[in-house]
Structure 1
Amino acid sequence: MTLTDPSITDAAAGAPAPGSGEPTAQAAGGVVHPLPVLRPGTAVDAAALDAAGIPVLDVTVPVYNEEKDLEECVRRLHSHLARTFEHGFRITVADNASTDSTLRVAERLARELPEVRAVHLEQKGRGNALRRVWLASDAPVLAYMDVDLSTDLAALGPLVAPLLSGHSDLAIGTRLARTSRVIRGPKREFVSRSYNFLLHSLMGAGFSDAQCGFKAIRSDVAQQLLPHTLDTAWFFDTELLVLAERCGLRCHEVPVDWTDDPNSKVDVVRTALDDLRGMYRLTTDMARGRIPLAELRGALARGPLPAGERTAEAGRRQSLFGQLARFAAIGIASTLAYAALFVLGREFMDAQASNFAALLITAVANTAANRRFTFGVLGAERLGRHHFEGLIVFGLGWALTAGALAWMHTVADPATWLELGVLIVANLAATAVKFLLFRHWVFRRRT
C-alpha cells in the first residue's frame, strides 16, 4: 500500500481526522474497529488489537535517496519482528521526496510483505516524516529507526516493552550509557557529547542521548505533543524529548550497541549548528508561552513530583550546608577548568584576553550546574533570566580578576605561573561574592 502526502495526515490506515470523535481503525477486509482509548500509565491491550487485526507496533523508517540500502534494511527488520515480536506490527517506509528509485523499492516491498507500507511525502526532513506518519497511525506504540540499522535490533524489544506495559511514555536508545558498545569516529563522538553537554547545562535536559536514531513513543502521548513541535529535520528528536520532560512524562533509556555507518549522508557540523539554533528557538518559545506546558501537563495527566516530594526536595536543596558543599564541589571543578583554559589561551593570547575567555566559558557551565544541583532549580522556568543574571555575576568576577591582573602588570612583568596564582586568589574572593549573589539574588526562592 502506498500513501501520498497530504492524505496521510488523516486517512492513513483508516485513522480518523483529529476531533472526529471516537478513534477507529480499518482492519483487513474493510471492517472498522474502535480503537481502545489509552490512559497514561495503563498497559496496552495487545490481545484485543490482535483480534481486531490492528498492529500493536508501528515502526517508521524515514528515507531519502536510499535505493541501495532500503531493501536489506526492511527485510532484516521485518524478519526480526516476525521472529521476536509476539503481536501484530507494521513497518512504514516514509519516503522524504527522494529523487532516485527509493519509492519504487518501497512500493515493491509493500506488495511483497503485508506488514510493510510505503508513504511518500513531498517535503524532506526526518521530523516532517515522523510527525505526519505518527499522527496518522492507528498503532498504540510508535517507533522509528534509521535506515542504516546502526543500532543492534536486539534492543528493539527492551525499547518498546515499558511502553506496552504503561510504565513509561517514551523510550530512547542511548549510546552514552556505560554499558553501551559504540563504534564511531572521533569527530562524531566529540560533536555528539558536546551537544548533549549543552542540552544538560543550558536547557536542564535529563535524557542522555538526544540524537540516537532509535526511539519509541505511546500514541496517546504523541497525539498531544506532536502538534506543538515545529522542526522538520534533525532537531525534532530533541524538541520532542524536551517537551515530554517539561510535561513530567517518563522516558525510559535503553543502552544500545551502535556501529557508525561510514556511508552516512548526515552533515555532522551543519546538523550541530541547526541543533544550536533549534535550542535557542525552543527556549524562546517556552519562555514566551507559545507552547502551553501547563495545559499539556493536564491533558497528559502526568505532572512533576507530588507536592509532598517537591516540598521535601526543596527543603533539602535549601539547606545552607548542603548548598555550600555542592557549590564548593562545582567551584573546584570550575577552577580546574578555568586554570586549564587560561594556560591554554596564553599560548596565543595576552593575559587579559585569556582570562576573559576562560572565565566566560566556565561561567556558563558553572551557572547551569549551580542552578540544577546547588539550588535545585529544575525545568525551564526563569531559565533565560537565571543565565542573564549569572552573566552579571560573571561580569563582577571578571572585573575583580582583571583588576588584579592590571595591578600586577603595573608592578612587574610576571611569569605565567605567578599570573595564574594571583588570579586563583582573586577568583576565590570572587567565588564568595558569587555564592552570596546566587543564594540571595539569582536563585532566591520567590513566592
Structure 2
Amino acid sequence: MIAIGSDGRRNLEPRNGRAKRRASALTLGSDRALVLILSIAAFFLEHVRKMGCKHSLERTATSDAFFEDPNSLKKVPCPSICDNSEKYLSLIIPAFNEEHRLPGALVEMMSYLHQRAVEDKCFTYEVLIVDDGSTDRTTKVAFDYVKKYKVDNVRVLLLGRNHGKGEAIRKGMLHSRGELLLMVDADGATKITDLEKLESEIHALADKYRGNNALTDSCANFMNKPLDAEVVVFGSRAHLEKQAIATRKWYRNFLMKGFHVVVLLTAGPGIRDTQCGFKMFTRAAAQKLFTNLRLKRWCFDVELVYLCKHLNIPMSEVSVNWAEIPGSKVRLTSILHMLFELILIRLGYGLGIWKIYT
C-alpha cells in the first residue's frame, strides 16, 4: 500500500513500518525507565548496605569520648549505657545552632530539676547537652551551665561536626547515667513538668510487665531496686492536631498528612505522633534501642517505633503541652529527606540487610 503525504507526494514507506518505529520508540522508552528504576534501587540498596556496615563497626568500636569540665579543666570519661545507672533521671538535649533558644529552655529545666532535688533528696539527675557541630555560640551557652551546676549535673558532649538530630540523641543516650532517660528538644516547646506524666506512665507499665503493684514513690523505689523493665513512653501532640491544621498553610497540612500515611505503612499503627521530641525510656529499653538505631537525622523516631515492635518493647503515648517556638529547622527539603529515610527503613529491615541485635 502506498500512502499520500500532506504535501501530496507519495509516501512509499509501508504503514506497518511506521508502526514498528513507534513500537521501537516505546520499547526504548520502557528500557530507559527500567534502567532508571534499577539505578535508583541500586543506589538505595548500596546506601542501606553501607549504613549497615558502618553500624556494625560502631557497635564493636570502643569509645574514647569524654566530657570537658571547665571548672577543673579535667577530662571526664564518658560512661556507657551498658554500665549500671548512677542517676535517677537523664535529660538528653540535642543542640545544633541553638544559642538563642537553648538558654530559655535550660532556665526552665534547671529550675524544675533543682527544685525537685531540694524537695526529694533521693531525686538525682543529669542534663546532657549534645552539641551537634554548632557554628554559633551554642557551646559557650552550654558550658556556662556546666560552670554553674557542675559537671556532675550538667555535661556537654561535642560531636565536632553536624551529624543530625538522631545521631546526637543516640550519642547522648549511649553516654548517659540515668535509670530513666528523657529526650527533649532544645527549644523548650514541651513543658518540662510534663515529664512527670511520662514518668508515672513508664512506672505503671514497668510494674504491669513485671507483675508488681503500682509504685507509690518512684524515686524511693528506684533507690532500692533498679527499674529493669524495657518500656518506652512517647509524648504526643496528637490532641492538638485539629488546632494545628487550622493554623498551618494548606500545603504543610498536605505534606504532613502524606508523611503520616507513609509512616503508617513503614512502622505500622500504634503511635499517632512519632515526631514529638519528648520521649522517655527505661535504661534497659534504651540499651537495646540505641545500640540498634541507624538513622541519624529526621526519621530516627519512626525507626525507634519499628524497633520497639520487633524487640517486643511495650510502648505508650501520653498527651503533653506543646507550643510552637520560632526557629524551626524543618524545610521542604527536610520532608524529602524524611521520605528518603522511610524508604531506607523498609529496605534495610525488610530485606534483612539491617540486623536487629538483642
TM-score (norm 2): 0.64
The answer (yes or no) to whether the contact 2:94–2:186 under 8 Å persists in 1 is yes
In 1, Cα distance between equivalents of 2:242 and 2:293 = 29
Q: Which amino acid aligns with 2:155?
A: R
Q: Which amino acid aligns with 1:170?
A: V
Root mean square deviation of aligned Cα = 2.8
* Residues 1:170 and 2:208 aligned together: no
Instruction: Percent identity, please.
Output: 25
In 1, Cα distance between equivalents of 2:78 and 2:102 = 26
Alignment of 1:62-141 (within 5 A): 62-84=94-116, 86=120, 87-114=123-150, 115-124=153-162, 125-141=164-180
Structure-2 change in CA distance of 1:156 and 1:16 (3 Å): closer
In 2, Cα distance between equivalents of 1:222 and 1:244 = 10
TM-score (norm 1): 0.52
In 2, Cα distance between equivalents of 1:224 and 1:103 = 30
Give per-residue Cα distances to partners, 1:256-288, cap 9 Å, x unaligned. Answer: 222112322322x22221111111111111122
Q: 1:7 — aligned with what?
A: 65
Give per-residue Cα distances to partners, 1:20-46, cap 9 Å, x unaligned. Answer: xxx3xxxxxxxxxxx26xxxxxxxxxx
Q: 1:143 — aligned with what?
A: 182
The answer (yes or no) to whether the contact 1:181–1:257 under 8 Å persists in 2 is no
In 1, Cα distance between equivalents of 2:106 and 2:246 = 23
The answer (yes or no) to whether the contact 1:94–1:119 under 8 Å persists in 2 is yes
Alignment of 1:394-409 (within 5 A): none
Q: 1:229 — aligned with what?
A: 293
Structure-2 change in CA distance of 1:17 and 1:93 (3 Å): closer
Q: 1:208 — aligned with what?
A: 272
Question: Any stretches of 5+ residues in structure 1 without a counterpart?
Answer: 24-34, 37-53, 300-447
Give per-residue Cα distances to partners, 1:85-110, cap 9 Å, x unaligned. Answer: 64111111111111111101111111
Question: Any stretches of 5+ residues in structure 2 without a counterpart?
Answer: 1-62, 68-74, 208-229
Give per-residue Cα distances to partners, 1:384-441, cap 9 Å, x unaligned. Answer: xxxxxxxxxxxxxxxxxxxxxxxxxxxxxxxxxxxxxxxxxxxxxxxxxxxxxxxxxx
The answer (yes or no) to whether the contact 1:150–1:260 under 8 Å persists in 2 is yes
Give per-residue Cα distances to partners, 1:164-187, cap 9 Å, x unaligned. Answer: 452561111111137997698414
Single out whichever of 79-88 and 247-256 deviates more from structure 2. Answer: 79-88
* Residues 1:289 and 2:321 aligned together: no
Per the TM alignment, residue 207 of structure 1 is displaced from its structure 2 partner at its CA by 0.8
Q: 2:56 — aligned with what?
A: none
Alignment of 1:327-366 (within 5 A): none
Between structures 1 and 2, the one with greater helix share: 1
How many residues end up aligned between the 2 structures? Answer: 257
In 2, Cα distance between equivalents of 1:127 and 1:287 = 21
Per the TM alignment, residue 163 of structure 1 is displaced from its structure 2 partner at its CA by 2.9
SS of the equivalent of 1:253 reads strand
Per the TM alignment, residue 113 of structure 1 is displaced from its structure 2 partner at its CA by 1.4
* Residues 1:254 and 2:318 aligned together: yes
In 1, Cα distance between equivalents of 2:323 and 2:245 = 5
Q: Which amino acid aligns with 1:248?
A: N
In 2, Cα distance between equivalents of 1:220 and 1:253 = 19
Q: 2:192 — aligned with what?
A: 153
In 2, Cα distance between equivalents of 1:143 and 1:17 = 14
Per the TM alignment, residue 202 of structure 1 is displaced from its structure 2 partner at its CA by 4.8
* Residues 1:57 and 2:89 aligned together: yes
In 2, Cα distance between equivalents of 1:177 and 1:236 = 22
Alignment of 1:37-52 (within 5 A): none
